[in-house]
Every structure is written in structure tokens, then in C-alpha cells.
Amino acid sequence: MIDGAHPPLDPGWVDDVLLAGRPADPCLDLGAPVTRQALRALVADQQAALTAAGLRERGVAALCLPPSLTFISTLLATWRIGAQAILLDHRLTPYEVDRALTRLAPQVVVRAKQAPDGALRGYAQVDAEVSARPGLPAAGPHALVQLSSGSTGPSKVIGRTAADLIAEIDRYRQIDGVPREGERIVSLASMVHVLGLVGGLLYGLSAGVQLAIPPRMTPHGILDTVAASREPTTLLGVPFHIELLASVAEPPPLPQLTGMTTGGELVRTGVYESFVNRYGVRLGNMYGMTEAGVIATDLFGAGRPALRPAPGLTVRERDGELHLAMQNSPYLGDTDPARWSDGWLHTRDAGSVDADTGLVRVLGRRDSQVSVGGLKVDLTEVEHTLADLPEVEGAVVVFDKAVEAYIMLRTPDAETRVRELLAQRLAAYKRPRVLHIVDQLPRTATGKLVRDHSVLRGARQDREAALNLTR
């Protein structure tokens, strides 16, 4: 139910912050330039369709659309009505979507009339199918509702107000190395999640930075999109994309490429060096969360792996965990005090804050620090060591009564060699007790490696079942 104490979801910020600017200026490029005037017309069309379906101020719409002009215009139209937008990744299964709709109870659901063409598509051309359903109006002031990535367990429901989003856009404006008006962002990050949504789409619209999305998320598709314009261009993605680009042996000359910014997990040293050497540009790191957006950055690699808190944010360390000052809980429903309490968001990330410089070091998930026989083991260190071996294509290391690793091998007979190399590089107490060989490591929709034990066991069982069928 609506709480009378909550103000309206202020629709004015869409025109003032996101759609303002010269009408003829191109602001998006999804296969062809889109001017601000054209985007405003698309938003008006989607606004009419949503209104016809019954969406009103303080209403709730769930968007389950692939990256597209339809997604962008529908999102902005929802906010322009003064309604709350729930973002559901279009790659979710129908079962997962139905569970989310039951859990979140939107009044309107927007889906694509047709399935997008191709798994590696960067964007799609789809029409929206708008349907009304029994649901509830917004229970609070949040303009945006997202689900956390689910890389370590069940997703959390996170709400952010228009003021939260505007404040994050303003933080981006103050960060050295972020693209400025007249430049381009080629975004590889999902617009359903916070990096691609705020760091790419919303910041770009607000700052006059053109946002381009590659037609295909392949190395050549990405590099061709960079080469398609002369404006200074920054790539925006996650470590998965860096590994993809670092695999290109001889990339073409790209004088317009100024650098790349990555969010998510820390890029392994070998991959970092390979990318920088191949492309000759800076590779910056950004630490953030769905709950808060960007928290700390090092966009020039000057302090790697240390990061500087984003302007206006306060980060502290308590008992080895990073906390972020946040006045209100970002979680919808009852808040677990282990996640937010007394004005502090508990990030669940292990790290430290330098008392003199304020620089933050993120050491991985707090649950990556485990005790083996009374000795501390950093699972992130073990994982990076494994992943850097030439015989290993990918690795995830978890703790389940003992250190275990799930790995993808480049050749089927490499397991013995992997064990030999681990014996040379890791003390015995750090080495995985078991190596589980899998065909594919599960990833979230944003490209993060999944660390949920049950999902990883499923990947191992899938491989075993496939091997049994071939015998």
C-alpha cells in the first residue's frame, strides 16, 4: 500500500536531467545515430502506450526487454509518468520471470513481442507488448527497483530514488577520466544492471556523451564500433569483456580509443597487462554495488589495486569488511541488520582503508577469506593463481568443508599438469582439495562468475551426464 508520507516519484527529472539538450544532437547509437529530438518522440509514444494500459503516477511497471531503443524509451517513459520501474533481465527464463513478478507485484508488464535474434547481439530491434496485471502501487519513493546479480546466492530487491540516481550521475561528472560532452562511450555492460544503466545510459544522456552499443558482443563487433567514429571513445564493461578483447592477437589501430573502464571483480594481473600492452591505453577499475552505484575508482591504473572513494562518499573498514555511509537502507522490505544498520551499508566485501590517503583496497568477497587448519586462505588468490595457468581457461574457487575448484581446461588431459604447477605456486594448505572439471563456468547475466555451490555442482553434474552419454 502507498504510505502517505512518501512524496510522488517526481517525473520532472527525466526532462530536466536526461532529455535536455540540443534537439539535433545525437545521443545514442544502436546501429544508427539517434538524436535527442527522436528520443523524445519515442519516449512520448511509449508514455502513451503505458498510460493506455493503466499506468499512473506511483504505479509500478516491470520491464523485461533486451537492450534496445524500446527498452530505453520505455524506461524513460515510465519515469516520466512518475511510476516505478522494475528491471528484469531479458535472459531470465519464463520461470524466473514469473517468480519475480509474483514477488514484486507490478501493475504493468512490458515484454518484447518477438525474441531477439542471436545470443551475442549487443542490441535488438523489438516492439513492446504492454499488458496490465493485478498488482500493487509503489510502496515507497523508489523510481528504480533492481535485483542484485545473484552471483553468490538469491537475489536481493534493491530500490533507488530519482535523487539517488541524480546524485550518482553527479558523482560521475566529478571523477577524473570519465568521458565528457562530445565524447563517446561504447558500452558492453548490461543496461539492466547499475554499471551499464547509470555509468553508461543515464550519465551519457545527462552529460552529452553519446552512448554506442556494438551490434554483436564479439571482439570484432566491439572494435568495429569503436572504429566507426572519430570522437574520443571509452569502453565500458566488466572483466569478461577485457578477457575477450585481450584475446585479440593484433588489434587494429584505434587512435580514438582513450581507454576502458571495468566494473565488477578485480582484473587478473596477466589479463590487465595483456590488454594494456595490446591496445596501448589506460585500463581503469571501478568498484560499485547495485545498492549504491559507483563507490570508488582508479580510472588511470595509478594506484592499482587501490581505489579512491567517489566524490561525496565515505568508506570505512570494520573487522576486515568495507562499509559505505548510506542514510537509508536500499533494500525493499525488512532489512537484515547484517546488510545495513545505523547509517552504514555492509558491503560483504573484504578490504582496507588507508588512514592517511583514504584509498580503498578491495580484497574480494568477505566469505573468500577462510580458515584451513587454523591457517588463513584467500580464495581469490587461489582462484587467480589457477586462472593464470596456461592450461586453465577459467576457474572458480569455493570453500565447502575444504577448498574446492571448478575449472575449465584448454585440453582434456591437462589436469595432471595443473596439479604439478599448483604445487610449485601455492603452499599445500592453500591448494584445492578437489578439482572439478566443467565444460562451462556459470555466469550471471552481467558476466560475473557464479559462486553459488548448488549452481556449480549442477555444472559439474551436467558434464558428468554428457560424458556418460558418450560412453
Q: Where are the alpha helices (DSSP H) in 336-388?
A: 379-387
Q: Are residues 173 and 166 in contact, defined by beta-carbon separation less than 8 angstroms?
A: no
Q: What average pLDDT does the segment 251-264 reach?
A: 94
Which residue would you say has higher pLDDT here, 248 or 378? 248
Q: What percentage of the chain reaches a pLDDT higher than 70?
A: 94
Q: What is the pLDDT of residue 154?
A: 57
Helix and strand element counts for the chain (H, E): 13, 25
Q: What pLDDT was estimated at residue 151?
A: 43
Instruction: Convert the pLDDT of each residue in 428-465 to its tens digit.
Output: 889 999 999 999 998 876 677 888 888 998 888 888 77
Distance CA(461)–CA(471), nearest Å, equals 16
Interatomic CA distance for residues 362 and 346, integer angstroms: 13
Contact 107, 136 (CB under 8 A): yes
Q: Label the pairing between strands 375-378 and 392-399.
A: unpaired
Which residue type, as a one-letter code, is found at position 79? Answer: W
pLDDT of residue 239: 87
Name the β-bridge partners of 233.
184, 257
Please tell me whether residue 154 adopts helix, strand or coil conformation: coil
pLDDT tens digits for range 38-67: 999 999 999 999 999 999 999 999 999 999
List the domain boundaries for the chain: 12-304, 314-371, 373-470
- Domain 12-304 adopts which CATH fold? Rossmann fold (3.40.50)
Share of the chain above pLDDT 90, in %: 69
Confidence of residue 5 (pLDDT cuts 50, 70, 90): very low
pLDDT band at 376 (very low <50, low <70, confident <90, very high): confident
pLDDT of 368 over the 90 cut: no
In this structure, which topology does domain 373-470 adopt according to CATH? GMP Synthetase; Chain A, domain 3 (3.30.300)
Distance CA 364, CA 152 (A): 12
Which range of 5-14, 93-102, 233-242, 260-269 scores highest in mean pLDDT? It is 233-242
* C-alpha cell of residue 433: 582439495
Q: How sure is the predictor about 471, in pLDDT bands with cuts at 50, 70 and 90?
A: low
Note the pLDDT of residue 148.
74
Q: What are phi and psi of 364, to 5 degrees?
A: 100, 180
User: What 3-state class would DSSP assign to 419?
Assistant: helix
Q: Is the pLDDT of residue 325 over 80?
A: yes
**Average pLDDT of the residues of the chain:** 90
Phi, psi of 396 (to 5 degrees): -135, 130
Sheet holding 144-147, edge to edge: 128-132, 108-112, 60-64, 84-87, 144-147, 157-160
Residue at 191: amino acid letter: M
Could you give the 3-state DSSP secondary structure of residue 10?
Answer: coil
Cβ atoms of 445 and 437 closer than 8 Å: no
d(CA 276, CA 282): 6
Write the single-letter amino acid at 205. Answer: L
Model confidence, pTM: 0.82
**C-alpha span between 137 and 59 (Å, rounded):** 5
